[in-house]
Each structure stands twice: as C-alpha cells, then as structure tokens.
Structure 1
Amino acid sequence: MSPAGVIGASFGVEEEFHLVDPESFALVRAPALSARALDGGAGPHVQPEMLTSQIEVATDVCASLAELRAALVSGRREAEQAASWAGATILATSSHPFASLSDIQLMDRPRYGALVERFGSLVTQFNLCGCHVHVGVPDLDTAVAIMTRARPYLPVLGALTGSSPFHEGRDTGYDSFRLAWLALWPQGGPPAVLGSAQEYTRAVDELVASGLIEDAGALLWDIRPSSRYPTLEFRVADVCTDVEDAVLFAGLVRSLVRTLGARTLDQPLSLSDSLLRAARWRAARFGLTDSLWSPRQAKLVGAHDAIEDLLQELRPDLEEHEEYEELAQLLKRLLLKGTSGDAQRRSRRRGSLVGVVRDAVALTAGRSQE
C-alpha cells in the first residue's frame, strides 16, 4: 500500500455501518444483502460484516486528504445503494441507540460459529461498528516499531471519535461504549510493547498456541500490523457520523505514523500497561469533556490541551506535507461542536432515541439536522 521505503505515503479507511429502516429507524436484519456482499454483488467497495444488520465499505488506496474525502463520500453512497436494495439505509454510529441485542443476527458462517464457541456472549452481545485506518509501511519491522511508539497516543486519538453513548435504549455514560466493551476481550485493548517483527510473530504464535486466536487477523488490538495489507491498522476509532471527522482522524493518524517513523531509533515513550489502560478508559468514558493523557507532557491535562499538544507535535510533519491548515481547521471545528456522542446526547434532549437515529442517519448522508 506504500511505495517501497516510504512510510505513510498512502492510506485508506474501512467504515462499518448499521442497517436501519428508513422510516422507523429500527435495526434491519438483511442476510440476503450480507450474502450478496460476500459474493461481491453489493458494490466494488461493499463487504459483509459479522452481523446481518451491518455492512462495511473499504476505500481504495489514497494519497491525499482530498482523495480520501472523495473516497469516503463515494463509499457511503455505494453503501446506501446497497442498503436500499434490502429496503434499508445506513447509520454511521458505533452503537445503535435503541436496538435490542435480540435484534441482531450473526452471519451463517463457520468462523462466526467458532467465535461463539470460543468467546460466548462477548460475540452474541456485540452490536458495535468501528472505523479502521490503514497507513502504508514498508515492512513488518517498521510497523511493529511504530505500533509500540504509538501506544501512548491511543487514548487521545480514541477521544476524537466517540459515537456510541447509547446502547439498548440507555445512556451508558460513555462517549465510546464500544471502546469500553472491546476492553472485555482478552485479545482487545492496547497492543503489547514489542521490539521487532520477530517479537510480534512470537507473540502471535503464543496466542494461537494458547487457543485464544486462530491467526493474527483475529487480534482486536487498538493498533496492529494488518494481516492483509502492508499497513499499520489503527482500530481505536468509533465510526464517525460526520465524514469530515473521519478525514480529520485519518489525517492525524497518518501524520503520527510518519512522525513516529522518523523516530524509530529513539527510545519509545515509557507508559505502563496499567496507566495506558486507565488513560484509554478515561477517553472512552469522557471523550473531549474531561482530562486526557498527553504524551507530550506525560500527564493528564484538559482534553483540549492534550489535543493541542498532539497537533503541535505533528505540526512539522503536517506543514511539510501541506496538511496543517486543513487539519487544524477540522480539529477546531470538532472541538467546537463535539463528538458524535455529544451530538447524539443533544438530539436526545430534544426528543426520542428514534430522533437520535434519524438525525444521525441524515448526518451520515451529509445532511446535518442540528
């Protein structure tokens, strides 16, 4: 995905969507659409997901922010067309605010049956969507080195995208209930501190031998080397309801990869697993409304200060690639309006959870209801 030896020259995004009824906004099971997507008949970028009430869109490989934005908009249109075939529309929030777990249905595939056998209700109670950003790297050693150095940045990155405050009709108290839920999985959360491709391969082999996973593709780490592409895959983000927030997140992630890639001979920032998990929990719980861990200051600071620290750390790289002004404006916009989770709570105060979904569906399609 990246020209030989060039870190971060290309990137791409995978977005997962819920399928909902365009009138009632309830979750829609669409097993025929899942099967169609599996066979490639739902569109060139549309793929099935674990649940028959979800689909995924993967962009082509992109080189610029403008190219990525166009790919995301086009991908959502393609997903909307695929959903309409099943009498549904798409919802870009990580949780469906009022769906019951009894509404969900796993795709009828052996791999998902094996997951239920292994993990029980962690699978059958998982009704959450995410956004995955792939950044091109030249080799596995580079991917592992950057992954280890990126660990302290995961909480502040995750706080930018919370879109799952409601679950099963209740306010969870979290901006990203999805991040909190993923921490329950034994192969979820932040990656281990690994020093080389060899250490990464050994860690995967040990997890396979333990019976926890079948292969590296089953890791649910917040960031991991992709098992399919020559990329480093950031999985910490909720799916962004607003396309511009997705562009912002992907742009910051790619800049972080480029920045850390230039430091691969430096000693990684020291942050214990326990402190990282605590910082990650805080990001999931409060989003942009409380304190966040700032790697630059190595302490908790106000959320907006932590984000400004991140932007200034990335500024030399962003200016070099002529992306600073655009991402700084998008970041300012996000801090003014808040996350999708904040928007959903404002919508809830105006009315019902059905209205929350209605507003989010409109924003998914680029029509703001606020």
Structure 2
Amino acid sequence: MTTTIGVEEEFFLIDPVSRAVKSLGPQVVAHAVASMGELVTGEFNLCQLEVKTPPCADAAQLCDELCQLRAAAAKAAMAQGVRLCASGTPVVACDGPVLVGDHPRYRAGVAQYRAMLDDFAICSLHTHVYLPDAEVAVLVGNHLRPWLPLLVAMSANSPFYQSKDTGYASWRAVTRSRFPCLGPPPFAASLREHREIACAIAEAEAMLDVDTPFWDVRPNPRLPTIEIRAMDVTTDVDDTVALAVLLRAMVATATQRVIAGDPGPQPCSEVLRATYWQAARDGWSPRAAEQARRLIDCVMPALQQHGDVDLVTAFLRRLEHHGTGAHRQRASAARHGELTGVVDDLIAATAGHT
C-alpha cells in the first residue's frame, strides 16, 4: 500500500522595487482563491501566504502539484503588484513593522508572547505523511527526534535577515528556538503522556492550544497524518519533493520499529537542542553529510519500496556540490554584490521549476 504525502509551503510577498516584504497577504489570497480554493491561505504575518498540496501518492504527483500551486500563487501575487519568494527569513529590511493577520489565534499569540513576536517573520516547510493512528504517530515521533537537526541542516535557507548576514545557515531555526513550545517534541511513551506534557506547558501559558502543539513533529490535530515542521521553506521544488519522500521513508521505517515494540531512543533534550543550534549555524557540513549517509542506510528499504532512491540520491548530490539554499543565497550575494540581487534570484527560482 502506498503511503500518501502532502506539503505546506509558506512564502513571503515581496515589493519588486524595494525587495522588502509587503503586507498584501489578504489581497493576494483573495485573488488566488478563485483558482486555488482552499489550497491557499493567509499566514501569521500579512506579508505571507501558504499553499497546501492535496495528498499525493508519489514524487511525480507531488512535484506537479507544487509547481501548479507556486505558479498560481505567483500569478496572484503579481496581479497585486508583489512577487512570491521562498526564503526562510526576509532578506532585505523593511521600513516599518511586520503586520500580524487579523485572526483570533494570531491575536492570542501576540497577547501571550508579546515582544517575542515583533520580528517573527519566517517561512517554513511542513510535510505530512499519512499515519491515522495518533498513538503510533507519537511513538514514531520519538524515532524521528534524533534526526530533526539533520533536517534543519539539509533545508537551511535563511542566512540573511533584514539586510544582515547572520552568520547562520538557518536564522529561521534560531528565531523559533527562543519559544518554549517550538522545536523538538519531548519523548513520550504514549499519546496520553504526550497530551499530559502539552497540558502542563499550556498551563504555564507557554503554549496557545493543547490540541495544536507547535512541536516539530506531531500527530496533526485535524488530519490523519504525522506532520514534520522542522524545515525552512526550500526555494527549489526538487529539494522540497526530495525532503518529503525522505520523510515518508523515515516514517515508514519508524512505524515498523514501533509495531515491533520499540518506543524509540531517548536522547537528552538539552543535547538535542544543542545539535539543533549547531545545525542552524552550520547547515550542510561534513558532520551533516556523515549523518545523512547513516540515515539513508537506515531507510533504504523504504526508499526502494516507493521508488525514491534516485530522487534522494540526487538531492544529496546537489547538497554536496552546491550546498543548501543558504549556500546558494550567499553565492548569489557574492555574484551580485548586493542583497537585492539575492531576492531577485529567489523570486525567479520560486516561480520557475529549474
């Protein structure tokens, strides 16, 4: 039986003159809904939107869906005088504050986290793998936890923030790390324990909604999936697809181990957060490359079962030769001599499948 996958991609809306983000999300989404329906929505900040694929049976279908969604969203953005950009953080500084969407949940977040959200402008990649049993999904999450820093490293696409080179590969991951309920989930021996931990964090007012934790792996509260949320949005569609099928193989492998009675490893949470930080700083590195080789060895039977070996191998080859999105952004900056050129390259790559 084929396990379906789906992807959510968040994008910035960019002023084509200043190359800064522009708060036209509601207008662009309203224009896009006519052709995209529920597959496009607004996001936390008004300078963003999100596209969502339907469940896809294989990599080819996922690639087609993503290309169509990006093209439709880019067309809607252009109709409103802005451009679509896939980067984990805004590259060029904007003059005023980033405006938050008028949604009860977003307003509650501002009330709860206050100034922590003043510069919270990030774009993520979320991948869903069909797994309807929430109890199993929690235990699968235990198996995925140790690999989450590697996913940060492989997807890193946010070296610049507001016209500054941060020195990091994923400044988005650093931005998220300051929140008490973002990042790796706690180890939980059962769905009940998973919820008890969430309840305790919510009682401390560090989580908005116990039913919708923002951990980087979670049983999705509304869909029959396990959702992985650790990654920067990637500019290249092929990278997005490769990460999605790799995650499907990871989930399939972990599910077999859970069914066999293995509740998953228990790496120290403090050490796990430290490796997150290292991955955010360094991105694709010799350490990450070695970890990736070990991961592929672990999940090779699942990759073979779904016919995804070549896709993932090609992805790793791109990382070895060209680096992550962060490497490519810095190479673009060196080539152009200014960050506006980086934004132009990102816009072109976001809308076009190369």
TM-score (norm 2): 0.93
Indicate whether 1:304 and 2:298 are aligned: no
Structure 1 position 29 matched with structure 2 position 23: yes
Q: Which amino acid aligns with 1:282?
A: Q
CA distance in 2, matches of 1:335, 1:235: 24
- Preserved contact between residue 284 and residue 319 of structure 2 (Cα < 8 Å): no
Alpha-carbon distance, 1:60 to partner:
0.7
2:20 and 2:94 in contact (8 A); partners too: no
Distance 2:305 2:25 in 1: 47
Deviation of 1:124 after TM superposition, in Å, equals 2.1
Is the contact between residue 131 and residue 235 of structure 1 (CA under 8 Å) also seen in structure 2? yes
Q: Which residue of 1 aligns with 2:284?
A: 288
Partner residue of 1:296? none
- CA RMSD, 1 decimal: 1.9
Whether the aligned pair in 1 keeps the contact of 2:88 and 2:123 (CA below 8 Å) is: yes
Contact 1:259 1:314 in 2 (8 A): yes
Alignment of 1:1-370 (within 5 A): 9-30=3-24, 32-33=26-27, 36=30, 40-41=33-34, 43-44=36-37, 45-100=39-94, 102-216=96-210, 218-264=212-258, 265-290=261-286, 302-350=287-335, 351-366=337-352
Q: CA deviation at 1:157?
A: 1.4
Q: Distance in 1 between matches of 2:12 and 2:304?
A: 36
Could you tell me which amino acid in structure 1 is paired with residue 340 of structure 2? V
Name the CA distance, whole Å, in 1 between partners of 2:303 and 2:264.
21
Is the alpha carbon distance of 1:247 and 1:32 closer, same or farther for their aligned partners in structure 2, counting shifts above 3 Å?
closer
TM-superposed CA distance for 1:241, in Å, is 0.5
Task: Find the aligned partners of 1:142 and 1:101 in 2 and give their Cα distance.
Answer: 47
Aligned 8 A contact 1:34 1:49 in 2: no
C-alpha displacement of 1:230: 1.1
State the secondary structure of the residue aligned to 1:16. Answer: strand
Partner SS for 1:175: coil
Q: What secondary structure, in the 3-state scheme, does the structure 2 residue paired with 1:262 have?
A: helix
Distance 2:29 2:76 in 1: 12
Q: Deviations over 1:74-113 (max 9, x none)?
A: 1101211221232111000011111237341111233222
Following the alignment from structure 1 to structure 2, what is the Cα–Cα distance between the partners of residues 160 and 247? 13
**How far apart are the structure 1 equivalents of 2:95 and 2:146?**
33
Counterpart Cα distance in 2 of 1:183 and 1:253? 22
Assess, with a 3 A threshold, how the Cα gap between structure 1 residues 304 and 31 changes in structure 2: closer, same or farther.
closer
Distance 2:353 2:257 in 1: 41
- Where does the alignment leave 5 or more consecutive residues of structure 1 unmatched? 1-5, 291-301
Distance in 1 separating the partners of 2:100 and 2:92: 19
The 4+ residue runs of structure 1 with deviation greater than 3 A are: 39-42
Pick closer, same or farther for the CA change 1:326–1:108 going to 2, 3 Å: closer
Amino acid at match of 2:339: L
Higher mean C-alpha deviation, range 68-77 or range 220-229: 220-229
**Whole-Å separation in 2 of the counterparts to 1:52 and 1:41:** 19
Once the two structures are superposed, residues 42-93 of structure 1 have per-residue CA deviations (whole angstroms, 9 ceiling, x without a partner) of 7221110011110000001101011111111111012112212321110000
Distance 1:173 1:217, change over 3 A: farther
Identity %: 35
C-alpha deviations, 1:220-261, integer Å up to 9, x for none?
A: 211111112111110000000111110111111111000000
**How many residues end up aligned between the 2 structures?**
350
Q: Deviations over 1:152-198 (max 9, x none)?
A: 01011111111110011111111001111111001111100101111
Q: Which structure has greater helix proportion? A: 2
Measured against aligned partners, the alpha-carbon deviations of 1:288-326 in whole angstroms (never above 9, x if no partner) come to 135xxxxxxxxxxx2221111111111111112222122
TM-score by length of 1: 0.90
Preserved contact between residue 36 and residue 42 of structure 1 (Cα < 8 Å): no
Between stretches 314-323 and 199-208, larger displacement belongs to 199-208
